[in-house]
């Protein structure tokens, strides 16, 4: 049985079946005036765990521009509450809030729960939800950006490129949660995400701990790339650059990334530049995946937040 917060129970507003999401829970406010909405259910689909998001809103009146944070984990793992182990949550969250931006951290279905495009459907559902309840959350619905790392970077890039103009747009947008509405974003930060699943299939996967760890690409597609070439192209951000008007992109990637080759960000940068998009490709010399080996993680966070604040016009 679905549980609803007591503050949401108003018999005059109840319907059956209930809507496939819950309104925002009442926020808590910390000693710095930051308001937190924790564990908000933005999408409910029978047979799956509810998809949750957390919102942190800076002190002040707002409404504030918002950054949707999408976690990594090879589409198989991960949690909205935790950035990669190289990036302390306090650093990431604090930098976003200090810039006058709200932070929306989302969960999404993992690939063994549901293959692609379920993950993109959930990201799109979260953006629709934030717009639908922007007034309750203290967010400006017209100033939303996305930022993701690894699998989340891949999903952020897709969120920035897939829209009503895209081939198979209806199938890629999905109808979960709020169900309909604008999912466009003003800027994208993609940390070491995959951009071309067809090309990356040729890159040998490093050995993972434990012999039963699934191949992340096969799990995402529901089978090997060779068996599902059309789906591999549909899941590749580079597919959607042509014919698009992309938002500004910041791509940051370690040049020695052994899991997702640096060439993946090079390919996306080339595709975006080819259609006149504003794109910055920032190599992190000598760094592996999740920026292992980088001595200036705070600098990368600061660069990413400054990019987002600029394109969201956080001082407006």
What's the CA gap between 293 and 286, in Å, rounded?
Answer: 7
What's the CA gap between 177 and 173, in Å, rounded?
Answer: 12
Residue 232 near residue 192, CB atoms below 8 Å = no
Rounded to whole angstroms, what are the CA distances from 167 to 59, 164, 187?
41, 8, 21
Q: Any residues with CB less than 8 A from the CB of 85 and at least 6 apart, and which?
A: 290
Rounded to whole angstroms, what are the CA distances from 160 to 186, 249, 250?
8, 9, 11
Instruction: Report whether the peptide linkage leading into residue 26 is cis, meaning its omega lies within 30 degrees of zero.
Output: no
- The CA-CA-CA angle for residues 297, 315, 35, to 5°, reads 70
What's the CA gap between 284 and 293, in Å, rounded?
Answer: 9
Say which DSSP state 76 is in: T
HSE-up (13 A, CA, CB side) for residue 211: 0
CA 203 to the chain's CA centroid: 24
Q: Describe the strand order of the beta sheet including 35-43 as a list of residue ranges.
A: 28-29, 35-43, 51-57, 102-106, 64-70, 139-149, 188-191, 249-254, 279-284
Q: Take residue 177 and report the two structure tokens written for it.
A: 């949660």
Active-site residues, by number, are 150, 257, 289
Q: How crowded is residue 192: how many other Cβ atoms within 10 Å of its Cβ?
A: 30
């Amino acid at each position: 049985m679905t549980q609803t917060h007591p503050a949401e129970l108003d018999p005059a507003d109840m319907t059956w079946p209930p809507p496939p999401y819950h309104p925002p829970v009442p926020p808590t406010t910390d000693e710095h005036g930051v308001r937190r909405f924790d564990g908000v259910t933005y999408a409910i689909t029978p047979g799956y765990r509810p998809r949750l998001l957390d919102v942190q809103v800076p002190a002040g009146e707002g409404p504030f521009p918002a950054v949707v944070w999408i976690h990594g984990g090879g589409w198989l793992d991960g949690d909205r509450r935790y950035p990669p182990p190289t990036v302390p949550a306090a650093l990431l969250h604090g930098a976003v809030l200090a810039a006058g931006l709200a932070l929306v951290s989302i969960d999404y279905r993992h690939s063994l729960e549901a293959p692609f495009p379920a993950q993109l459907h959930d990201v799109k559902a979260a953006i629709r939800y934030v717009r639908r309840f922007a007034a309750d959350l203290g967010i400006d619905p017209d100033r939303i950006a996305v930022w993701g790392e690894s699998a989340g970077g891949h999903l952020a890039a897709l969120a920035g490129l897939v829209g009503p103009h895209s081939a198979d747009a209806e199938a890629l947008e999905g109808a979960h949660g709020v169900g309909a509405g604008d999912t466009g974003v003003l800027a994208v930060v993609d940390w070491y995400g995959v951009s071309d699943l067809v090309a990356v299939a040729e890159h040998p996967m490093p050995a993972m701990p434990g012999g039963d760890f699934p191949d992340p690409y096969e799990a995402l597609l529901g089978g090997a790339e060779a068996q599902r070439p059309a789906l591999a192209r549909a899941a590749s951000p580079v597919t959607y650059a042509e014919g698009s008007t992309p938002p500004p992109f910041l791509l940051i990637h370690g040049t020695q990334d052994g899991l997702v080759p640096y060439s993946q960000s090079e390919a996306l940068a080339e595709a975006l530049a080819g259609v006149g998009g504003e794109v910055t490709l920032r190599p992190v010399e000598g760094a592996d995946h999740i920026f292992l080996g980088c001595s200036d993680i705070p600098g990368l966070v600061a660069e990413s937040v400054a990019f987002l604040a600029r394109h969201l016009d956080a001082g407006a």
